[in-house]
Structures are given as C-alpha cells and as structure tokens.
Structure 1
Amino acid sequence: MDKVVRTAADAVADIPDGASIAVGGFGLVGVPEILIDALRDQGAGELETISNNCGTDGFGLGVLLAEHRIRRTISSYVGSNKEFARQYLQGELEVELTPQGTLAERMRAGGAGIPAFFTPAGVGTQVADGGLPLRYDGAGGVLVASEPKETREFDGVTYVMERGIVADYAFVHAWKGDRHGNLVYRRSARNFNPNAAAAGRITIAQVEHLVEPGELDPENIHTPGIQVQRVVEVGPVEVGIEKRTVRTEN
C-alpha cells in the first residue's frame, strides 16, 4: 500500500516514447512542474499530452514543447505559448482543440469507465461538424482536419457525442497526500487535477506535504488512493504570476 517513490526521476523513469499523459493544472496553478521537468531530463519523446493548456514558454509542458518532445496535444486553451503557436502553424505539432468543459468531462468519463457521452457544447460548429485543423502543412494549408462527430437529438435538443479519455499516465499536483495515494488539492489547484488523476492508467502525484495514512480527513479527500499509483514528495511549490498588470503612475 505504500506508493511513495523516492524522487521525481524515479517516478517517471519507465515512461516510454509515444506515451499519452493527462496533466493537471490551469495556467500556472496546480501544474505538476517537477514531474514534467523530470520527464524532460528522462528523455522520452513523441508524447501525446492531454491538458487544459500546453504550458507557457519555459514553464510546465512548455519545457517539453520547446524540445519538440510533444507530438500531439488535446487542449482547450493555447493562447499563452508563442512556441506552441509557432509549432502548430508550422505543422510540427498536432492539436485537437476541445471545449474546456468537454475536456474536463472527457477525462472524468474515462476515469469512470464511461466510453462516451453527449453534450450540447460544440453543436453547429466545427467541433461537431468536422474541419478543425489538427495539423497544418507549414505553408498555410490544412494537412489533417478533424472528422465529423456523431450527433443525436434528445427531447428536441441536438447533442454531439464525445469520447472519454484514458491516458497511459497522469501527472498531478496536490497540496497533501498520504502513502496510500489519497490526495487533497488546495484552492484553485483543484482544477483539472482530479479529472487528470482519474484518467491515467498510472497516475503519478507530486505532493507538497506527505502525511501518514489516517492523517487526512476522509471527507476532505479529493482523489482517492485507488486512482493513484505513485506519490513523490516535492515540498512547497511557489506559484508564479502569468500576466502581471500594474498601474502606470502619472
């Protein structure tokens, strides 16, 4: 039952080229940056990532992106990473853009064993009708576009079918975790982390504070240990400021 791994490097040592990884975080908050940095040092490439965004320049998944280690990503927001935009438009990166709520539910559904679900989000757009650019050809043309998805009417309303996501691995960041893998997220770090944790076949959690079994209030556990296979203690992590805005003095 003791799932603690000594270092982040040990936790990611067996991740192979081509693996799919669900990654928690939103902007700079709740990002499992130490696991991501360890994977960069480990050397795996041709990765597929599933995350709200693909990091920022020089942080989070952005460090893997900068080294061309990500082949494909499923994301909902990509506007804070210039290198992401460059790779996408140059045809170096395949991108499946997904509405944010749909992405969260796709991960949650995958973790719950639900293969697909219907949602109104995206109906009447390229999300449902197909034609979203997955990969450009580097010269302004679309090399690969998304296929149309199944739609169905329920009670007079049209819905589009979305597939659940199950990833080979998942990286998450938690405030506290015990040796059995039970996790507690703090404040806004409880964003995509619980859904990412559920979606991974092998879920690896970096925790700021490691506690003994029984020290966490069962009613306040956000991710149960059954969904976590490895835990590594990383100590307190400082959250940066993604966009700093200050007033100009007159």
Structure 2
Amino acid sequence: MIRKKYDTMEQAVADIHDGSTLLVGGFGGSGLPSKLIAALVEQGARDLTVVSNNIGAVSDGVAALISNNQVRKIICSFPVGPHANDLIDRLANGTIELEIVPQGTLAERIRAGGAGIPAFYTPTGAHTELSEGKETREFDGRVHILESAIKGDYAFIKAHRADRYGNLVFRKTQRNFNPVMATAAQVTIAEVSEIVELGDIDPESVVTPCIFVHRLVQDDAPHGEVFANE
C-alpha cells in the first residue's frame, strides 16, 4: 500500500474540485470535522453539493461553506439555526438549492450508497410534500416512497483515534453519521485526535476499518500533519 505524507491539512483537501459532492459527518457539533471544513473554505472549491445532517453556525460547519458562496446544493435534515436568515435569502434568490430529508431516511440513503444499493422503499414521508414526484408502492397496506442512494466524491469525517493504516475508533456521540459516510465516498478524509501505531488499537474496538479511509488528519498536530492511503 502506497502512503503519502502531507505537510499541511490544506494539502489533504487541495484536490477537491468544483462541482464535487461532499459528505460531512457530525450531529450538531458532535463529531464535526470542523478543521477540514475550515481548510476547504480556504481552498475555495465552488458549486459543491453538500450532504450533512445539519448546517451549523454561520462561522462553523457547513454554514461556513455556504457563507463563502461555495455550495450549490445542500441535502440535510435540519436546516434551521443561527444561519437561517442567510439560507432563506439564498433560497429566495436562487443561489442555493435545499433538499430536506428525514433524518432516518438520510442515514439510510447514505448507508445504501456505501452498500451498493441503488434505492429502497420507505413509508417515511408518504402523503407529504416530501413524496412529490417520487415513485410510490404499497406494501402491507401502507404507501411507501422510493428513495435513491447517496454517494459522495469526498467525505469529511471525525474520529477519536486511528492507527496509521486508518482503522478508526469513535468517541461516544462522534459515532453518528461519520461511520456510514466513510463507506459512501470515493475519498474519505478522517480528522482524528490521535494517530497511534499498528497494534495499539484493539481490533474489537475498530468501528470503521481502514479499507474505507484514504487520508488521516491529526487535528492537534503542530503543523496539521496528514497521512494518506492512496
């Protein structure tokens, strides 16, 4: 396995191109890969489609990308918060597109993307505006709507510890959307608090195996050192 070491965190996001689909882990501030997002704000890729449970505050999270005019479309469950007025203005003038997805459906669409399942039926959202324009089918007397899988070009995730191969351990509520997003992207970049040697992590504690992780960022490293599996 070829390994590359980057001198700065910014280099880990340098190849993210305009028009990319980006999966961003986290639930509120828990498990949010905020330093990777900050690096992408500086990098400046535009016309992004961003998939995240929620948007965050104006200066943090996905909202920072929106405020910097980098997002073309946002797919999320919870778009309200301190940034709401800015988002409403952008929706009104057509500079951003918003797709609201029920939280469980969002998680399953991402999981399906990682598992190679193109679509699935769910009763969630049936008979509401969320079902408009979608195929429906009845199962056991209930109407279900067809939801398509979500896959990303890149995923930003946050974990507590990794070995240098990229096996990940999450701390408590960091284990939200992060593990499932790691499986559904072409390139997964993990922001972690600690990188340890091989054998220092009990295999039974590994949540996300290294096969899904392409780059590691140690968020408290003096120079934002980045290791990558390419």
TM-score (norm 1): 0.83
1:59 is matched with which residue?
A: 60
Give how far 1:55 is off: 2.2
Structure 1 residue 10 corresponds to structure 2 residue 11:
yes
- Whichever residue aligns with residue 175 of structure 2, its letter is R
Query: Following the alignment from structure 1 to structure 2, what is the Cα–Cα distance between the partners of residues 151 and 6?
Result: 51
Query: Following the alignment from structure 1 to structure 2, what is the Cα–Cα distance between the partners of residues 157 and 31?
Result: 36
Structure 1 residue 117 corresponds to structure 2 residue 120:
yes
Deviations 1:210-243 (A, max 9, x none): 111221111111111111111111129xxxxxxx
1:164 is matched with which residue?
A: 149
Query: Following the alignment from structure 2 to structure 1, what is the Cα–Cα distance between the partners of residues 55 and 117?
Result: 25
1:228 is matched with which residue?
A: 213
2:71 is matched with which residue?
A: 70
- Whichever residue aligns with residue 191 of structure 1, its letter is N
Give how far 1:5 is off: 4.1
Query: Following the alignment from structure 1 to structure 2, what is the Cα–Cα distance between the partners of residues 125 and 109?
Result: 23
Query: Following the alignment from structure 2 to structure 1, what is the Cα–Cα distance between the partners of residues 183 and 60?
Result: 24
Query: Following the alignment from structure 2 to structure 1, what is the Cα–Cα distance between the partners of residues 207 and 5?
Result: 18
Deviations 1:25-67 (A, max 9, x none): 1111111111111111111111110001122111111111111
Aligned match for 1:190, one of 163, 175, 188: 175
2:11 aligned counterpart, secondary structure: helix
Q: How does 1:1-250 map to 2 (within 5 A)?
A: 1=1, 2=3, 5-80=6-81, 81-82=83-84, 83-128=86-131, 130=132, 148-235=133-220
2:143 aligned counterpart, secondary structure: strand
User: Gaps (5+ residues) in structure 2?
Assistant: 222-230
Contact 1:4–1:232 (8 Å) recurs in 2: no
Give how far 1:183 is off: 0.9
Query: Following the alignment from structure 2 to structure 1, what is the Cα–Cα distance between the partners of residues 95 and 207?
Result: 37
Give how far 1:88 is off: 2.0
Give how far 1:4 is off: 5.5
User: Gaps (5+ residues) in structure 1?
Assistant: 131-147, 237-250
Contact 1:6–1:232 (8 Å) recurs in 2: no
- Rg (Cα) greater in structure: 1
- Whichever residue aligns with residue 114 of structure 1, its letter is I
Aligned residue-pair number: 218
Change (3 A) 1:18 1:189: same
1:108 aligned counterpart, secondary structure: helix
Query: Following the alignment from structure 1 to structure 2, what is the Cα–Cα distance between the partners of residues 30 and 113?
Result: 25
Contact 1:204–1:230 (8 Å) recurs in 2: yes
Query: Following the alignment from structure 2 to structure 1, what is the Cα–Cα distance between the partners of residues 90 and 56?
Result: 14
What is the root-mean-square deviation of aligned Cα atoms in Å?
A: 1.5
- Whichever residue aligns with residue 212 of structure 2, its letter is Q
